[in-house]
Structure 1
């Protein structure tokens, strides 16, 4: 099988790497498999189908027995631990073990010098397994106690504990095993046991129950997007990519050309992720797990497991980018880390944010591209003074801080005092926000994909570290202008309230005279 993919890659002129062809083939195979999955007569046969499909993919295609054993043993730990341990701290103990297991996977990958996504291994499957299993722990606890939100009540596992077959049918679900998307156990059980309409997360009307669901139109649009993305990857990405930022032809370009090059390279790099995420989303549409109820016009929604939105390319803020990009991981971090810290319903603070950051860091891995290292050498001796930080996430956090501060201090001045209408300059503010956000993140992402600090710092320097300049200049200017901007906001609001009060007083002071009835104008007729 390896020789087949190697030969195919060579015939394509080396435009697509061998392991990328393997992944693409596995993803395309889920489409006919999704139709077969729907046609199976009962839940048990669907469980077994997914288990066999994903096992074959991991063992025969990826040739990763170690990965199969690692993923399976981690699943078995969570299954039996949550079955027999009934303490309230069970989900957190389970979570800690999962993080250790995930860390071992990443360290094994790093020790074997596997970088980026050039080599297809089992780390993607392990990352999805960790998302599912950590949520499973909380869902089991919610079923034994009392969930504190409508979503958690819906995901709570009540009654009989899942069987091993149903559990592994969910964990090894064929359309999302390698790279996602992820979803909770109860969503899967509803898929394989209920009519598709009844899996809606919201109550159905009689009309909605009678609607025949079809994925033809949304699936067609999705595949058209994939087609365009693949064209970009074949014809543009080989020239415009982050590795090219380290080559002589690029460094010889004038600054404006280098700046534009960075934007195109970053977009083309994201095309790879869009392509595989959209392909998995399509198979999930066919199988039914993507169905997410109906909108206000009774049109079916197919976005339950959406992982990315093309709107990422014109996001007006870092926060909006994080919402639109890798949505599955963001939903997991919010629901099963951030919201689970402290007492249910309590206001979350620094502890919740810090834990969410740590979990996200370990989940992503330990390559130096994620961690920027500052080392000191004395007399040729490598010192132990190493300060590690997540380069990508740290810069993104600083950009987000500047953006949030700008929104609080400047945006209100571009709206009417009642914040109901935009002033003419608001459009310019929005366009500037999109330009600065996207261009800064496009450069910041170099650290995420080049991995080594020497490489991504070289890429940063090639465009004069403009994202750092944006942070320093923008943040510094806002700090200096903060008192003035706040005073200006207060002055506008005070003037608005004063004018509003004067208008109210004028209306109240008006004497409204009732019209007199002229009785002489009334004629009596017989």
Structure 2
């Protein structure tokens, strides 16, 4: 029996003992391996040349990928090589951007088609979706670096790549152990500054990153333990079991709401643990706050206080998978400004997010639900802001506890409805039926009655240019003046 068989046997036995899939155990081990790598970087590589760091991160990250996916890790290496050749041959041109976007998204979708099953599987296509955004973003940043500064917005000026990245730099960026498997997303500019000790100089001592990194790691373990314990009582199998449909409607709503909350803890734990690796490496330095305290939240992917206290779905979007939302806002949504239609830009951005996640129909239903839910919440914000009577009631301090309870119930009741297609792909229709399609009835129903109700409740005001926050997290994307 060879060493690989022995290793697989041991991992399988451990996975069986803890009640987790073997691939999930491999993923967790791979994330935790990032911590000694991060400490090695802080203690031994922090003053080494950038080239040494690129080589180290490339070798360690590639090895972690091989541990999880074997020779399928070659898919990522091939795509990095193609991106490098596109930049070298076509430089920072629109043609380079178009070919880069087309190639990487097509490759990802073909990967989903090849590896896809009726369940969520941890295969090479999982980290490849992270790589896809990273390489497309790199190409756009290099494209921005060829423009004049007055043609760029604040984010583009900050991320623009003036110099052509080397192949080694691209490999270090892609295979960085703290972000290769499940994110977080971070730009090539951030990685280059980190490798060149810019953050070490700005912070005075990059060793300060260890404590905040450990805090995020501890939170990650807490949420992982919470998920493991709670999922023993309410798991995917509970929601899809025959006994689920024997409960009353109210109990079904409660069970789906609890299931959704617990399911999200799985993602939160992974993001916190990977963020801890990035932080302990020194990659996440983010300047100082108003009190002069150094910040290490440059790669934060979840805002726990906002998430746990969410009273509307806008809070969930602002606090959950932050870096991916920010990426879509900057690299998709805002760059569609030429369309002159905010709603169309939002729809395209959410369709891109659905396609980026996979080919399963459930992803598209999930992001369609996000679209109509956020449109509903924007209408409610308009009512509160523009109707004097509603404004007075809503902002009455004595009603604050009532608003909080109603908001929590609203999020709790509909969160599971919105998440079910994302998890169950095509089997979510039976769950929707058990809930009497209440999400469609409520939010789509509002789209039909809103044109009748809003004009009566919102006073008419002089026509002016319309601005609004996008559904994906980011800054304003105004319509063109008519």
TMscore range, shorter length: 0.7 to 0.9
Give 5+ residue unaligned stretches, structure 1: 200-208, 371-389, 491-526
The answer to whether the 8 A contact 1:91-1:134 is kept is yes
Question: Which residue in 2 is equivalent to 1:84?
Answer: 89
Among 374, 377, 392, the alignment partner of 1:403 is 377
Distance 1:42 1:211 in 2: 17
Distance 1:239 1:196, change over 3 A: same
Among 85, 106, 109, the alignment partner of 1:100 is 106
Question: Which residue in 2 is equivalent to 1:498?
Answer: none
Question: Which residue in 2 is equivalent to 1:384?
Answer: none
Structure 1 residues 436-455: aligned runs within 5 Å: 436-452=410-426, 455=427
Question: Which residue in 1 is equivalent to 2:282?
Answer: 288
Instruction: Determine helix, strand or coil for the equivalent of 2:179.
Output: coil
Instruction: Determine helix, strand or coil for the equivalent of 1:341.
Output: helix
Q: Which has the higher helix share?
A: 2
Question: Which residue in 1 is equivalent to 2:159?
Answer: 155
Distance 1:428 1:478, change over 3 A: farther
Distance 1:420 1:392, change over 3 A: closer
Residue 24 (structure 2) pairs with residue 28 (structure 1):
no
Residue 194 (structure 2) pairs with residue 191 (structure 1):
yes
Shift of 1:226: 2.3
Distance 2:206 2:77 in 1: 38
Shift of 1:42: 2.0
The answer to whether the 8 A contact 1:64-1:121 is kept is no
Structure 1 residues 286-365: aligned runs within 5 Å: 286-310=280-304, 311-342=306-337, 349-365=342-358
Which deviates further from its counterpart, 292-301 or 219-228? 219-228
Distance 1:76 1:351, change over 3 A: farther
Among 257, 263, 273, the alignment partner of 2:251 is 257
Distance 1:143 1:471, change over 3 A: closer
Aligned length: 448
Among 122, 134, 142, the alignment partner of 1:120 is 122
Shift of 1:263: 1.4
Distance 2:188 2:455 in 1: 51
Instruction: Determine helix, strand or coil for the equivalent of 1:482.
Output: helix
Q: Could you say which structure has the greater relative contact order, defined with CA pairs below 8 angstroms and 6 or more residues apart? A: 2
Among 66, 75, 79, the alignment partner of 1:74 is 79
Distance 2:167 2:183 in 1: 21
Length-normalised TM-score, structure 1: 0.79
Distance 1:56 1:211, change over 3 A: closer
Which deviates further from its counterpart, 461-470 or 96-105? 461-470
The C-alpha deviation readout for 1:382-437, integer Å capped at 9, x for no partner, is: xxxxxxxx211112211222211121124544789799965644653454234223
Residue 200 (structure 2) pairs with residue 169 (structure 1):
no
Among 433, 455, 469, the alignment partner of 1:483 is 455
Distance 1:342 1:464, change over 3 A: closer
The answer to whether the 8 A contact 2:179-2:185 is kept is yes
The Cα RMSD (Å) is: 2.7
Which deviates further from its counterpart, 416-425 or 84-93? 416-425
Q: Which has the larger radius of gyration?
A: 1
Give 5+ residue unaligned stretches, structure 2: 1-6, 462-482
Shift of 1:472: 4.7
Question: Which residue in 2 is equivalent to 1:62?
Answer: 68
